[in-house]
Amino acid sequence: MKTAGKLIGALMSAEGKSNPYPIYREARELGPVTQIAPHWFLVSTYAEVREAMRSSAYLKNRYSNVDEKQQAVRRAHRSIQLFDESVLLQDAPEHGRMRKVLGEAFTPRRIAAMEGKIQQVVDQLLDALAERASAGQVVDFMEDFAVRVPLTVICDLMGVPREDWSRFRPLAVDLNATLEMLTDEPQLAAADAAAAELDTYFSDLIERRRAEPRDDLISILLTAADGEAGQLDSRELLANLELLLVAGFETTTNLLGNALAVLFDHPEVRENLLAGKFTYSQFIEEVLRFDAPVQHMIRSAGEPGMKLAGVPIPVGAELVMLMGSANRDPLRFPDPDTFNPARPDNQPLSFGGGAHYCIAAGLARLEGATALSRLLARFPRITRVGTPIRADRHGLRGFRELPVALNV
Ligand code: HEM
């Protein structure tokens, strides 16, 4: 049997990035929690990933656990610092303060009110796909549809001009590299350059909205930042806007791509979906479980004497929580490698859990169900052509290219 260290190596290989699921099975066989290095643990089962996510004793803020030298390294990289300053990597009480301000934009009522807008965006993009196909051009589902749906939605919500969208995909891809388990120097340099470009872009946009407020998220957050309550400082405002942009679309883009790939791999699922045997919401939930867009998250032990599944976790040690593995844990999901949208009590951990549970899970689910239902209603015979290319990633799992024929 492999050690946890060898399994990490396997997950980082091209084969592991393409299909991590057999490696996860080996990880679960090693035990729910296994040590990779003195301060590094792998958590691979549902109950334990869920427990660590929901416990406030496991922290998100990496500064609290690292020494001065490591802190200086983190501060030297704007790409890392940006996430550090955003809601994603805060702990109480700062986390609650930022989350309350951002949460205003994602209440269930506001999300439900966006449905018509999402349908409109999807239908316009489907028209554009049909035009490309009838002009004999190759249709790449990722570039021509899966990127544009969430990016248009988040740009409209935030008040970012739609015409700037094409700049954001490469910037987000470069920046999000810092969220991977291991990042090398060239990746960090590209991430820092992307962060600098986004800083310039958003600083300029903030100034424009300050001079001329609108009914958009940037203006709302600006009010929170400039108001007497001082709910966000200017650095936090910048970090959170950039987080929303990059978190708001690459993940959802990958949900759409992973969902379509499931339909190509499982023709019976497509038939049943078209026949109404289960809902699009059930289908999307099962895609989230079966091939999650976010495969892992990191937490660190904030108190001495902690244990997970009986394994002592020293204070400061980091846990790599494999949600992609937890979602295939046979103790939680019977027959986990079968794609079954009708499975009862389907609650994957793909949006995290506890205080950091994805702030926009409702929006992402709505975008997924709306996009897939309208796509299949319009192009029920859509097929894969050529070879899809997976992104060279473990943490954010999706396709870089997914060429399709619409077969209208
Ligand atoms: C399928 C799409 C998505 C997936 C799989 C996803 C997944 C996640 C996960 C795993 C977390 C971290 C939870 C944790 O640490 O416990 C998270 C947090 C977050 N997500 Fe999402 N997300 C998606 C879409 C979105 C969208 C569309 C937005 C914004 C428009 C968004 C904004 C955020 C923010 C701001 C946080 C930080 C919340 C906090 O730390 O309190 N996400 N998401």
Closest by CA to 299, choosing from 7, 28, 35, 57, is: 57
379 lines ligand 1 (CB under 6 A): no
CB atoms within 10 A of CB 145: 23
Ligand 1: nearest atom to the Cα of 240:
35
242: domain CATH number is 1.10.630.10
Q: Is 312 helix (H, G, I), strand (E, B) or coil?
A: strand
Percent of the chain topping pLDDT 90: 78
**Model-level pTM?**
0.96
297 lines ligand 1 (CB under 6 A): yes
How big is the CA angle at 282 (ends 281 and 286), to the nearest 5 degrees?
115
Q: What amino acid is encoded at 223 in this protein?
A: T
Beta strands 383-384 and 318-322, pairing class = unpaired
d(C-alpha 102, C-alpha 229), whole Å: 15
Closest by CA to 82, choosing from 171, 161, 198, is: 198
Gap from CA of 123 to ligand 1 centroid (Å): 25
Return phi, psi of residue 131, to 5°.
Answer: -65, -45
List C-alpha distances in Å: 326 to 39, 176, 202, 336. 21, 22, 37, 10
| Greatest distance between any 2 Cα atoms in the chain | 65
Query: Average pLDDT, whole number, for the chain?
Result: 93
d(C-alpha 143, C-alpha 388), whole Å: 12
pLDDT digit string, tens, across residues 205-250: 999 999 999 988 998 888 887 776 668 888 999 999 999 998 888 9
Does residue 62 register a pLDDT over 80? no
Task: Give the number of domains in the chain.
Answer: 1
Compute the average pLDDT of residues 273-282: 97
Q: How confident is the model at residue 25 (pLDDT cuts 50, 70, 90)?
A: very high
Gap from CA of 149 to ligand 1 centroid (Å): 17
**Domain carrying residue 259:** 4-405
Does residue 66 register a pLDDT over 70? no
Does residue 279 register a pLDDT over 70? yes
Gap from CA of 243 to ligand 1 centroid (Å): 9
Q: How confident is the model at residue 182 (pLDDT cuts 50, 70, 90)?
A: confident
Nearest CA to ligand 1 atom 1: 252
pLDDT value at position 315? 92
pLDDT value at position 192? 95
